[in-house]
Amino acid sequence: MIKRTFTLFILVFFISVSASEEKIFSHNGLERSYYLHIPQDLEDKAPLVVVIHGYTSAAENIMSYSKMNEVADREGFAVIYPQGTIDSQGNAFFNVGYEFNKDSKIDDVSFIRELVIQVRDTYQLSEKNIFATGMSNGGDMSYLLACTSSDLFKAVAPVAGVMMKETLDNCNPQNPIPVFEIHGTNDKISLFQGDIENKGGWGSYYGLPETIQFWAYIHNLDKNESVYIASKDEGDQNDIIFERYWSEDNINEVWLYKIVDAGHIWPGFRIRWWQNPLLWYYMGSGNDDISASEEVWEFFKKYL
């Protein structure tokens, strides 16, 4: 746990941040903050995407490295970047049930729900086309929203996210929604094969194979395919294995991008080893052929 905290703490200072305006939202007696991006001349009833930062990070960081605002400007949707609170370790977090946050009373599901509803109503955004994505802890939070808030969210797309054992074991959404996960197979932080025995101290969580099978099962998806997508860069080992689950009588699908040998990374934001060797060791590299934000939005567009 200490190693992961230190690693992500470095990331906060490694990434340049945006100068966008910070906004305040009161929730359960706390002054919570967030960043909001509304493209110029945005049409009424436009979609809304919530982008959730990782552990120890910040809303402005993920806004900067994800470049989701650029996608939003081109495609015509609004973006919310909520800010986590500070946990007992002194780090920014979203409360998804980590072992060392077990005494926390922070209700981030309620916070994000109420924030989304206020922004949606204030800016006359779509009531139906609301989506969530996030990196690491933010990906974990996206899964939690899929389980608890399928009445509000249309689909989720975690990046380097996992489902905590308690989240999956108690997941019973009113209306199962589409899920798309992007994950490196050599992720040293959010382990691809999970940590059901809690050796890392974060709490017990499932691996991606079990997580994706869970979502395919509750959607009753009886068809699947695996497509190998070779990297375009010569010598790049980070090929992609695209797993798709679907059914003839169900519009909803479940997708997984397994990025071969990639680390704990948001594709499109790449760390070169000579820039920061320690950070590169833990975060790793990824496939330069894709941008997570572009891929996530293309998935969400299927359900508009």
pLDDT digits (tens, 9 = 90+) for 242-255: 999 999 999 999 99
Check residue 21 and give its pLDDT: 76
Q: Is 199 left (phi over 0), alpha (psi -120 to 50) or beta?
A: alpha
Average pLDDT (41-53) is 97
Domain boundaries, the chain: 2-301
Of 124, 143, 126, 147, the C-alpha closest to 134 is: 143
Report the alpha-carbon distance of residue 215 to residue 115 in Å, rounded. Answer: 26
> What's the chain's Rg over C-alpha atoms?
18
Instruction: Dig out the tokens for 27 from the structure.
Output: 């929730």
Average pLDDT (180-186) is 96
Report the alpha-carbon distance of residue 268 to residue 283 in Å, rounded. Answer: 13
Give Cα 185 distance to the centre of its chain. 16
> What contacts 55, CB < 8 A, 6 or more positions away?
4, 5, 8, 91, 92, 93, 136, 137
Of 229, 218, 230, 205, the C-alpha closest to 254 is: 218
pLDDT digits (tens, 9 = 90+) for 74-103: 999 999 999 999 999 999 999 999 999 999
Mean model confidence pLDDT for the chain: 89
From 60-74, 112-126, 277-291, the region with the lowest mean pLDDT: 277-291
Q: Is the pLDDT of residue 118 over 90?
A: yes
Check residue 1 and give its pLDDT: 44
DSSP E strand boundaries for the chain: 22-27, 30-37, 48-52, 78-82, 85-86, 92-93, 130-135, 155-159, 179-184, 223-229, 240-247, 250-259
pLDDT digits (tens, 9 = 90+) for 197-236: 999 999 999 999 999 999 999 999 999 999 998 876 655 5
**Domain 2-301, CATH:** 3.40.50.1820
Check residue 25 and give its pLDDT: 94
Instruction: Dig out the tokens for 106 from the structure.
Output: 């922070």
Report the alpha-carbon distance of residue 292 to residue 72 in Å, rounded. Answer: 13
For residue 272, name the pLDDT band (cuts at 50, 70, 90): very low
Check residue 233 and give its pLDDT: 65
For residue 13, name the pLDDT band (cuts at 50, 70, 90): very low
pTM: 0.90
| Terminal-residue alpha carbon distance, the chain | 39
Check residue 98 and give its pLDDT: 98
Check residue 14 and give its pLDDT: 40
Check residue 20 and give its pLDDT: 57
Report the alpha-carbon distance of residue 92 to residue 72 in Å, rounded. Answer: 26
